[in-house]
Amino acid sequence: MKNKILISLTSIVLAIALLPGNQLNAQKAFGPVPSEAQLAWHEMEFTAFVHFNMNTFTDMEWGTGGESPEQFNPAELDCRQWARAFKDAGMKGIILTAKHHDGFCLWPTKTTKHSVKNSPWKNGKGDVLKELSEACKEYGLKFGIYLSPWDRNNANYGKPEYINIFREQLRELLTNYGDIFEVWFDGANGGSGYYGGANEKRKIDGRTYYGWDETWAMVKELQPDAMIFGDGGPDVRWVGNEEGWANKTNWSLLRREEVWPGWPDYKQLRSGHEDGTHWVPAEIDVSIRPGWYYHKKEDHRVKSLPHLLDIYYHSVGRNGALLLNVPPDARGLIHENDVKALKELAYTIKADFANELAKGQKVTTTNVRDNTAKYKATNVNDRNKETYWATADGVTDASLIIEFEKSIEFNRFLIQEYIKLGQRVQKFTVEAFIKDKWELLAEETTIGYKRILRLPHTKTNKIRIHIKDAKACPLISNIEIYHAPKVLTIPQVQRTKSGKVSITPSDTELDIYYTLDGSVPDANKIKYEEAFLLKEKAKLKTICIDANTKSKSPVKSANFEVCKEKWQVVYPKKQKKSNTVIDGNNSNSWYIKAKKMPVEIIIDLGEELELSGFTYLPDQSRWAGGYIFNYEFYVSVDGEKWGKAVSEGEFSNINNNPVQQQKNFDAKKGRYIKLKALSEANNDKRIGFAEIGIITK
Ligand code: FUL
């Protein structure tokens, strides 16, 4: 009997000890944890992706595989220039498209003739992998490879033989170029291809065809520390979009066995799985341009600084790693526009995190496991990543207060969990003590390796971090507080068809001022509070000002004509969405099918005006086309008699630089305008428009 009681008592004690909240969770892992190599990968945070290959020379995104090696010839290729630009941008590594879907290999592989070996570049003696791996070493960057599983060139693609070829390519890459930190396997597969001349569609089963288990084992055998990227890992997962963001709730955990390349539920990858079985953190891949490859016509569409900053805060700031693609041009160099954008981004990130305010300040807490060096509250601001604040086992609701000697101003909050023992926090808030009470600044969910919050500009002497829920006692290793300067890039101005003008600043906390009389705007001019009506012709000048520092953005000028409220597209007749052409919105577009040229569009301006020019903005979207090349422009009083064209000619460089085109002519009065397209820049069978405008005398 005594023994029985003893046995059941022991089992109760054992059962209690095994309950998640009651283990020695401050010292033991809870759930999946990262490997050493994954930890090192987390710390890289920001890496360059380089799409440079056959597509760079054919102006494509997905080559068919039928290209000729003759087409690859980067006359000025300089991998050191790439490495320098990335190093200066604060990136820690480079991943290169050694082979993209079109199958062209950037190294002299033994597995196929479709490589640099048969290109005119360096008379077939060149090796991009060698040059870039050496540049990486020189600049202290890690080196990674992208090898497309889909190969639209290879005759054996789809058959078992191809898998041996694919693995052999991998073997060459993983043995000849030093340490590889990441191997990137793309899940994309569109089926059709050249396939050695067969020109057909080939279907494979993404789950079974590539024999992933064996392929992954080979990677680990040759490069034990390399991270393997795939839709569902195994080491690093895709984030489920190519726009540059993870969800705010982002677990580094994944029910990995459920995911495979081409998984239809890929949107779940944006958050990971709270109950994930493996540590598979998110990598956020996005391009600095609309396309993954360089296209001259996108030179004016390198992402703006505010956009790149959003990407940074929505990736690195949301427990992910940022893989920013910067595609070199056909010279083999990173284009000057991209270099400039990278410089601005690096400068701003540096400025945002220049001056840390929490280090060494007083920290108190509502709960601590014990006050030993390992767990005490002040571990969060000691700058030692091996120490952390831990609550007692089972306590998953606790606060921590950072008290500043003098009142501070801040707008960035950075927090890190001690992920070596698992990702735990499920809910937390940040508050500031203002005028004798706690004000809520943010209510959030996960933390993970790193979470950065952009908060409203706040003045305080106390900040409270309240962990409201966690899977096990929270372990917080680091908290940092910053006061980031406002982003003072040029404001954006938009005006609708009916004349409503809106001004968007690069930083929501800036004040906006404007003038309509041509004078320079400053803090004494009209303050912009909300969108306003401006129907008549006017010159708008606007500026953003930081009320605290008085710093100013550059001035944005917009010359508005009479608004398009009365305008109507009268030809082609009754075409849905043709009003897109005159709605004041540059980011939507409309096309006229054009089996034969010429093609024309007629607009009724609703009143007679004295015209002296017109503007044509082609479609600005990623898959744009239909660029008018040769044109004629007419003005008419009644829409019937047109007379001679008031302007004719060509939009000379529209293909390479599809920005707004402007043509001026001798003034003519009229109420109707006609833009006639005589030819399309690429013999495309359609003509596209984002916007048509006029210039009046
Ligand atoms: C996609 C590919 O199809 C794109 O071309 C690009 O390589 C991107 C990173 O992944 O799935």
Q: pTM of the entire structure?
A: 0.90
pLDDT digits (tens, 9 = 90+) for 241-259: 999 999 999 999 999 999 9
Report the largest interatomic distance among the alpha carbons of the chain, rounded to a whole angstrom: 114
**What is the H or E stretch that residue 315 is in?**
helix 305-315
| Probe residue for ligand 1, chosen from 285, 292, 293, 322 as the CB with the greatest number of ligand atoms within 8 Å | 292
The residue type found at 14 is: L
Tell me how far the alpha carbon of residue 186 lies from the centroid of ligand 1, in angstroms.
Answer: 7
Closest approach atom of ligand 1 to CA 51: 7
Query: CB of 273 within 8 A of CB of 255?
Result: yes
Domain ranges of the chain: 37-352, 362-482, 492-560, 568-696
The two tokens of residue 468 are 């409201």
Tell me how far the alpha carbon of residue 155 lies from the centroid of ligand 1, in angstroms.
Answer: 22
Distance from C-alpha of 84 to C-alpha of 137, rounded to nearest angstrom? 11
362-482, CATH topology level:
Jelly Rolls (2.60.120)
Task: Please list the ranges in the chain whose pLDDT falls under 50.
Answer: 1-23
Beta-bridge partners for 184: 146, 229
The contacts of residue 593 (CB under 8 Å, 6+ apart) are: 685, 686
The superfamily CATH assigns to domain 37-352 is: Glycosidases (3.20.20.80)
Closest approach atom of ligand 1 to CA 61: 5
Beta-bridge partners for 592: 687
568-696, CATH topology level:
Jelly Rolls (2.60.120)
Question: For residue 190, what pLDDT is reported?
Answer: 86
Closest approach atom of ligand 1 to CA 100: 7
Give the pocket of ligand 1 (CB within 6 Å).
Answer: 61, 186, 188, 285, 292
| Probe residue for ligand 1, chosen from 147, 242, 294 as the CB with the greatest number of ligand atoms within 8 Å | 242
Burial status of residue 356 (CB atoms within 10 A of its CB: 0-12, 13-18, 19 or more): middle
Nearest Cα neighbor of 418 from 367, 361, 472 is 472
Question: For residue 24, what pLDDT is reported?
Answer: 65
Q: DSSP label at 564?
A: G
Same topology between domain 37-352 and domain 362-482: no
Beta-bridge partners for 322: 46, 284
Angle between helices 336-352 and 79-88 (to 10 degrees): 20
The rounded Cα 50 to chain-centroid distance in angstroms is 14
Tell me how far the alpha carbon of residue 262 lies from the centroid of ligand 1, in angstroms.
Answer: 12
Give the Cα-Cα-Cα angle 635, 636, 639 (nearest 5 degrees): 125
Q: Is the dihedral of CA 64, 65, 69, 74 positive or negative?
A: positive
For the 492-560 domain, the top CATH level (class) is: mainly beta
Distance from C-alpha of 217 to C-alpha of 511, rounded to nearest angstrom? 57
